[in-house]
Amino acid sequence: MQTIKKLTEMANGAATAGAYKSVYRLIQQMVGLSDNVPVKYRRWLWEKTLDAATDLIALIVYAWDEQNVAHKVVYIDRALTKFTVLNTYMRLCNEARVLPLQKQTSLSELMADISGQLGSWRKATAERAKKGV
């Protein structure tokens, strides 16, 4: 039983580490592109997009640190909600052609990766919560 618990924790740790690293890379790329964002979009759209991404990092850390599995699910759900907001801002950036298409494609690939990682982490954690582990 202990071995299964340790393997589950390691798997969840890998998902968390992956999500954290992917969001971190996303933020790094976004900051690197900030000078290329047209001035008319910097304040009202780009800054909000960056804020949503940095808020997502905090939620991932809070979820990782939470020991109570039921509370962990709540933090992951908040992270998924913040991710939805971030995804919407990114979509607005794409539609307004704020970034060159190649850069937007790179960010979109990272966003898809983050989505999958958060979804997997949420599913695994919810299953653990149901089992009472």
pLDDT at residue number 18:
85
- Torsion angle defined by CA atoms of residues 109, 110, 111 and 112, in that order, rounded to the nearest 10 degrees: 50
Phi and psi based region of residue 132 (left: phi greater than 0; alpha: psi -120 to 50; beta: remaining):
left
Q: In the CATH hierarchy, which fold is given to the domain comprising 2-131?
A: de novo design (two linked rop proteins) (1.20.1440)
Query: Can you give the residue ranges of every domain in the chain?
Result: 2-131
Per-residue pLDDT of the chain (133 residues; tens, 9 = 90+): 454 454 345 445 545 578 999 999 999 999 999 999 999 999 899 999 999 999 999 999 999 999 999 999 999 999 999 999 999 999 999 999 999 889 999 999 999 999 999 999 999 999 999 988 6
Considering the entire predicted model, what is its pTM? Answer: 0.83
pLDDT at residue number 77:
97
Helix (H) or strand (E) holding 120: helix 101-131
What's the burial of 130, exposed, middle or buried (CB within 10 Å: 0-12/13-18/19+)? exposed
